[in-house]
Chains A and B, each alone.
Chain A
Amino acid sequence: MTAKKTFYRQGDIVLVKEDRVPATSIKKDNIIARGEHSGHAHQFTATAPVSVFIDPATSTQHVHVEHPAVLEHDTHENHELAPGDYEVRVERELDLVGEVRRVAD
C-alpha cells in the first residue's frame, strides 16, 4: 500500500511531505519564489529553522524543516510546518489564451 502523502496548501502552492530532499538540490534563500509578478511571495522568515533548496535540473524547490516553522504570505493564512522534508508544487493551470493562439496559428 502506498504511504499517504501529506501536504499543506497555501494559495497556489502545496508543500508535499517527502522522504528527503534530493541530493542534487542546492541551497537557496528562504523565499519560495512565486508570484514575483504580483509581488506576493510564500516565504519563511530569515531566522526560521528551514533550508530551501532548488533542483537545478528541474527548478523544483524543496524545503527541509528542522523544527516547526511558519510559512508566511501576505494574503493567505500562515501555516506552521512540522519538521521534515517537503517538495514544493506550484499550481498547474490550463492556458486558454495559449491554446487559442496555437489553434489560430
Chain B
Amino acid sequence: MKMEQPAGLVSGTNGVLVNPKRLESLTPAQQLVLNDVRDEYIQQFNKLEFNEQAARDLVDLVRCGYMKEKRPMIFIVDSPLGAQLLVHVLKQMKEFRDNMWANVWANVWDNVRDNVWANVRANVGDNVWANVEDNVRANVEDNVRDKKITFESFSWYNESGSLGWLSFYDAFTRLGQIYSPNFNEYCSLVRRAGIFTEIDMTGAVIIMRPPKYIRRDNRGRLHCTTGPAIEFADGYRLFEIHGVDFSRQLNGPDEVLYTRMFLDADHGCDALGEILQHDNTTIRAAVLSERLDLLENAPSMTIIDTKKRSWRQNGRYITEMVFDVDLLGQRRRCIKVEMYAKTGEKETHVKLVPRTKETETVDGAQGWRWNMTAAEYRQGMIAES
C-alpha cells in the first residue's frame, strides 16, 4: 500500500519529512490508531504468510540497493535449525565464507534510519523468537557440537521480528508526524515478504519460511498442552509451556515428560512425585501450572472451603473447592471448579489464587478471579457457564 505524503510536513534529517507541530499528547482517536497498528502488525505476524517474490525483492533492495552488491544466491529453507545446518555446509565453500549480518544490519539502519528503538518488538518477536533462538542455539551447540557446527547469528532485519520497530514508525507515519519514502518502501516489503528470519553471508542469503503454526498463551509466550507450540514445515518443532522450553534436547527427557503429562492417555496421573523432584525449577513450575489438578492428591493438601450449587436447574451441580498446598517451596492456594461444558461433558478447572483472608472462601477466591469481592460475586451472578 503506497502511503500518501501528508500535507504540511517539512524537511527533517536524512530525507525524512516531519510534522513541525510537536506531538505532546495523544487524543483517544490517536491512541486507537496506535492500538490498530499494533493489532494489525500482530495479526499479520500471526498469519505466517510467506511471499517468495517479495522476499527476493527485499534481498535485492538491501543487498543490491543499499549495499550496492551483486545479487547474492538466495537459499530458502523451512526452519531456523535447517538454516544453521545449511550455513555450516556453505561455509565449507570459499564463495560463501562469512556471516555478515552486522554489516548488512548497519546498512539497513543507515538507509531506513531511526532514532528510537521501539519495544513493540516484544509483543511480536521477543517472546516467540527468543525461545526459538535459544532452542536452536542449544540444539546446535549441544547436539552437533562434535561436528564443529557453531551457532550463526540470525538477522535483526528483514525478518518478522522487525515488525516491532517497523510498527512504531508506521504508527507515527499514520499519525502524520513523519514521512520517509525509504522507510515506507522497506516496511512494505518486509510486511509482504513474511521472512521468519535470515542469515546473510558473503555471496549468499539463507531465508527461513515462517512456521506452520505458533501457539501461545494470553501473555504471548509459546504455549500448547496438546502438542508442539511451534512447528516448521521440515518437522522441526518445539514443545513449550508458558514459554518454558521442553525441547532443548530434541526427543530428550523433558520432551518425554511433556508427552507423559499432556499427551498420554493417563495424563501422568501418578507423576506428581516425579515432577516435584525434577531438577529444573522452571520445568516444575511450567508442568504444575497446567496440572494443578495433581496437587489435590498431594500430602500437604488442606481443604479450606467447599461449595455445591445447582447447575442451571437441570439436576446437575457445580462443585467448588478452595485448598491450600505446598508448591515450589511456598504454601499456595488453589480453587477447583467442576462444572459442565456446552456438550454436557463435565469439566474440571484448577486455578491458583493469592493466599489472603479474602480467598479463604469459595466466593472470595472466585471473586478474586474477576476483581470482585466475595459478596459481589455471591450476590451479583445472574447466569454462568
A interface residues with partner B (beta carbon < 8 Å): 4-11, 14, 16, 24, 26, 35-37, 54, 56-57, 59, 73-79, 82, 89, 91-101, 104
In chain B, positions 50-66 with a C-beta closer than 8 Å to chain A are none
- A82 CB to nearest B CB, Å: 8
**A92 is contacted by which of B328, B369, B385 (Cβ under 8 Å)?**
B369
B357: chain A residues at CB < 8 Å are none
B interface residues with partner A (beta carbon < 8 Å): 28-29, 31-32, 34-35, 46, 215-219, 221, 223, 241-244, 281-282, 284-286, 288-289, 312, 327-328, 341-343, 351-354, 368-372, 376, 379-385
Asked if residues A74 and B342 are in contact (CB atoms below 8 Å), the reply is: yes
Q: Quick one: given A56-B31, A97-B289, are A91 and B217 in contact (CB under 8 Å)?
A: no
> Residue of A at shortest CB range from B286?
A97
Asked if residues B385 and A76 are in contact (CB atoms below 8 Å), the reply is: yes
Alpha-carbon distance A4/B375, docked complex (angstroms): 9
- A13 CB to nearest B CB, Å: 8
> Residue of B at shortest CB range from A35?
B218
> Residue of A at shortest CB range from B220?
A37
- B353 CB to nearest A CB, Å: 7
Asked if residues B370 and A91 are in contact (CB atoms below 8 Å), the reply is: yes
**B215 is contacted by which of A4, A37, A96 (Cβ under 8 Å)?**
A37
- A101 CB to nearest B CB, Å: 6
Chain B at the A interface: mostly helix, strand, loop or mixed?
mixed
Alpha-carbon distance A78/B242, docked complex (angstroms): 29
B32: chain A residues at CB < 8 Å are 26, 54, 56
Asked if residues B385 and A10 are in contact (CB atoms below 8 Å), the reply is: yes
Q: Quick one: given A8-B383, A10-B384, A92-B368, are A97 and B376 in contact (CB under 8 Å)?
A: no
- B136 CB to nearest A CB, Å: 20
- A17 CB to nearest B CB, Å: 8
**B385 is contacted by which of A6, A11, A96, A104 (Cβ under 8 Å)?**
A11
Q: Quick one: given A6-B382, A79-B385, A96-B352, are A14 and B370 in contact (CB under 8 Å)?
A: yes
Asked if residues B352 and A94 are in contact (CB atoms below 8 Å), the reply is: yes
Alpha-carbon distance A7/B384, docked complex (angstroms): 9
- B202 CB to nearest A CB, Å: 38
Alpha-carbon distance A24/B327, docked complex (angstroms): 43
B368: chain A residues at CB < 8 Å are 92
Asked if residues B383 and A9 are in contact (CB atoms below 8 Å), the reply is: yes
> Residue of B at shortest CB range from A93?
B351
Asked if residues B28 and A7 are in contact (CB atoms below 8 Å), the reply is: no
Alpha-carbon distance A91/B352, docked complex (angstroms): 12
Alpha-carbon distance A24/B31, docked complex (angstroms): 11
Alpha-carbon distance A96/B351, docked complex (angstroms): 11
Q: Quick one: given A93-B351, A97-B289, are A9 and B371 in contact (CB under 8 Å)?
A: no
- Residue among B370, B372, B379 with max Cβ neighbours from chain A (10 Å): B370
